[in-house]
Amino acid sequence: MKETSPLDSSSSPGASSALPVPEEDSVQPDTKNPSPDSLHTAATVRQVDLDITGSGENDTRMQFSALKVSDEAKLQHWLDARTERSNIFHAQLDFVKCLTHISHGLFEIEREHRRDVLRRELEKLNDFIPTNVFIPTELRPHRVLRIVPEDAHVFSTKERVPYLLVVEVEDLSTNTPDAVSHHDSHRGPGPLRRIGSLSSPGPSGRSPTSARSQRHAPSERDEVAGDHMPNQPESKFAFSPDVTSGVGSTGKLTKRESSFKFDLQHADDRRPPDEELLKALGEPWAKKSERLRRTSPFGSNPNWRLVSCIVKARDQLRQEMFAQRLIQEFARIFEKASIPCWLRAYQIISTSSDSGLIETLTDAISIDSLKKHSPNVVTLQDYFVGRFGGRGSHAHKRAVRCFVQSMAGYSIVQYLLNIKDRHNGNLMIDSEGHIIHIDFGFLLSNSPGGSMEFEKSPFKLTNEMVQVMGGTKSGAWKLFKKLCVQGYLEACRYANKIMLMVDIAYPGNELMPCFFHGREYILENLRDRLGVDLSKKERASRMMKLINTAHGNWTTKAYDQFQKVSLGIAK
C-alpha cells in the first residue's frame, strides 16, 4: 500500500513530486493573496529528504513551499514514525543476517575453535539487539530479550556448521501496547526496551560497553523489560559478526554431550529410569528454562520464556519448507477427521538462497544418538523399558500408544510423498514415545543413489519397530494397521488439494532436487499413490499390502547397514 504523509491534502498544494529541486535560497514562494495561516517568509520553505525505496537511506528530496504552521508538527511526527518503522524492518533483517553469517563464517574456523568463536560472537551481538526483533520460527508474538551464549552449541559437518541458538524472549499479549507496536508499528512510534537496546553510538551516544553494563547490572527501574522509555525513533542496527578475529587465543575445546532434553513428569507412573539413559538424554527443557531464568537479568519478567532454533548456512532450505507445509496439511486432514495419526510439523524459515532457521525439537533425540550415548540401549525396546518401565506399566502402555500413532502417521506420509533416506540419524523420538521424521532432502522424485533407488520399501517398518509394539500378535500392531488404513483413506479424499499444492510449488522451483524428474512425472506418480482411480475397498487393500511389504523389508536393512559402514550411523 502506498504510504502517504499527513500533508497529502488540499492544505499543502505545494508538495512536489520526487524530483531534484533547486537550492532553498533560489525558491520564491507565491506571496500573492497569502492565506492567514500560510508561510510568512521565504525562509520557511522546507526541503525534506526521505527514504522512499525502503533502503534505510534518504534517496528522495521533497519540497514543501506552502507549509502551514499548524502542519509542521504533523510532518515531523510522520517523519519520525516513518524512520522508526524503516529501522525496525531493517533491524529484523540485519539481525537474522548476523545469525546466519556467523554460521557461514564458522565453516572457515578450525573445528576445535568453533564453539568458543560462536559464543564470543553471540555475546557481542547481545550488545546490539534492537527492541522489537523476534525469532521467525516462533509463532507466538514475542520479542528477543537476550541471547544465551553459554548454551549455544555447534554441530560440525563436512559441508556446513549449523548451531543451536538459545534465546530469552518476552511474550507479547495481543491486547498490550507492546504487541501493537510489534505488529502494527504503522500506527506510530513504538516504545523501546531500555535493557538490551541498540548499543551503537547514536542520538544517545551510548557505547557497547555501557549497554553491557546496563544489561548485566540493571537498575531498579530497568530490571523488568516491560518498563519502557518514551516513544522515540529506534537506532539503526550496527553490528557485523567477525568470526575470524581472536581465534588464536582460544584454548582447545572439549566435546560436550548432546543437549537433548526429556520431560520427566509422571515419574510415579514408572520404575526409576536407567541413570545412564538419563545422562544420554540430557537436561530436560523445562529444567533448563528454570535454571536460566534464575540467573537471567530478565527473569523477573512475568512474560519471560526460553526458545531455541537451529541456525543453518551453506544449505538451501526451500525443499525442507515445502515438505513441512505438506506434512502440516496431512496433520490438518487427520485432525479434522478425528483420526489419531500423529505428525509433528515444525517451522523452517528460508532466509536466503543458502541459509535459514529451523525450529528446535526440544525434549527429543535421534535414534542414532540414543544408541551411541546409551550403553544399555541396543534396541528401541530397550529404550522403552529403560525410559518408561516394564511392558505392563501404565507409562509404558501410554508411550507405546504414542509410538504407534506417530508410526502410522509418518508411514502414510512417507508413502504418499515418496520420502527416502530414512536412516536412524533422520528419525527422532520424543519424551512421550513419538517418532519424528526430520531432514527431507529426498522426496517425490529424487532418492539416494539416483536411479538405483536403494530404498524400495514404501516406508520404514523394521522388526525392531514392530517389537516395540509387542509383535504382530499384539493389540498395538492391530491398532497400527487400523490407523494406517483409516489415515490413508482420509488422505486420499484430499487428493486434488495435495496435488494442487505440489503443482503450485513447481513453477519457479524447478531446480529443487525433489522436482528432478519434472512436473508430469511427479504429478502422475503422486496421483497413483493417492489412489485416485481406486475404490475405497481397493485403497484399504493397497495399504494392507504396503504394510506387509514394508515390514522387515530387506532394502531397509541394507540401507541402514550402508549408512552404518559409510557414516557410522547406528542401525
For residue 339, is it within any domain? no
Last residue of a domain, one of 21, 50, 67: 67
Top pLDDT among 146 and 265 is at 146
Q: What would the mean pLDDT of 272-288 be, rounded to a whole number?
A: 68
In a domain, 471, yes or no: yes
Domain of residue 478, CATH code = 1.10.1070.11
CA distances to 42, 191, 362 from 68, rounded to whole Å, are 13, 29, 59
Residue 411 inside a domain? The answer is yes
The residue among 19, 43, 67 that closes a domain is 67
Domain interval for residue 14: 1-67
What DSSP line would sit under 90-132, residue for residue?
Answer: HHHHHHHHHHHHHHHHHTTS-GGGHHHHHHHHHHHHHTT--SS
pLDDT band at 150 (very low <50, low <70, confident <90, very high): very high
Residue 57 lies in a domain: yes
Higher pLDDT, 20 or 438: 438
- Tally: H helices and E strands in the chain: 16, 13
Within 10 Å of residue 509's Cβ, how many Cβ atoms?
13
pLDDT tens digits, residue range 123-147?
A: 999 988 888 899 999 999 999 999 9
pLDDT confidence tier of residue 68, bands split at 50, 70 and 90: low
Task: Reply yes or no on whether the pLDDT at 55 is more than 70.
Answer: no
Lowest mean pLDDT, pick from 88-92, 196-200, 235-239, 382-386? 196-200
Question: Which carries the bigger pLDDT value, residue 451 or residue 398?
Answer: 398
Number of domains comprising the chain: 2
pLDDT of 172 higher than 80: yes
Q: Most confidently modeled of 50-54, 385-389, 463-467?
A: 463-467
The residue from 32, 67, 102 where one domain ends is 67
- Pairwise pLDDT comparison (548 vs 392), residue with the higher score: 548
Looking at the domain assignment, is residue 61 inside a domain?
Answer: yes
Residue 119 to residue 313: CA distance in whole angstroms: 17
Q: 36 versus 433: which is more confidently predicted?
A: 433
Question: What span, in angstroms and rounded, lies between the C-alpha atoms of 472 and 480?
Answer: 10
Task: Decide: 425 and 436 in contact? Cβ < 8 Å.
Answer: no
Residue labelled with grid coordinates 537498575: 219
User: Is residue 348 assigned to a domain?
Assistant: no
Within a domain: 173: no
Query: pLDDT value at position 114?
Result: 94
In a domain, 382, yes or no: yes
